[in-house]
Amino acid sequence: AQKVTQAQTEISVVEKEDVTLDCVYETRDTTYYLFWYKQPPSGELVFLIRRNSFDEQNEISGRYSWNFQKSTSSFNFTITASQVVDSAVYFCALSEMGSSGSARQLTFGSGTQLTVLP
């Protein structure tokens, strides 16, 4: 069975601080996908990143960066110089990889509520 743990239920930072959201996963699959989604106060789910299990390169996109470490089963997300608009719930998720490389149903963590104060 798959499991995703986001131990940080709530984080509060002051604007311009850096913040890291932790994600630890468990799976018996040797190939899989990892995702981060953002859920702003408006409620929709916004895709941020997808990583496959055989690509451990870290990724940076603007103020966002992701650190994938297969050895520790972690896929952490860092926001640099946080802004008030970053306030949201962030979900980490895991999907098995189907035989054709396609993604399947997601197993979500319980989410981390990030509040960025002005």
Partner 1 sequence: DAGITQSPRYKITETGRQVTLMCHQTWSHSYMFWYRQDLGHGLRLIYYSAAADITDKGEVPDGYVVSRSKTENFPLTLESATRSQTSVYFCASVGTSGALAKNIQYFGAGTRLSVL
Strands (E), the chain: 3-5, 10-14, 19-21, 24-26, 32-39, 46-52, 59-61, 64-69, 74-79, 88-97, 103-108, 112-117
Q: Does 43 bind partner 1 (CB under 8 A)?
A: yes
In the complex with partner 1, which residue's Cβ is closer, 44 or 118?
44
Binding mask 13-42 for partner 1 (x = CB under 8 A): --------------------x-x-x-----
In a 13 Å sphere around the CA of 57, the CA atoms on its Cβ side amount to 6
Return the residues of window 49-108 that contact partner 1 according to CB under 8 A: 50, 91, 93, 95, 101-108
Q: Which residues bind partner 1 (CB under 8 A)?
A: 4, 6, 33, 35, 37, 43-45, 47, 50, 91, 93, 95, 101-111
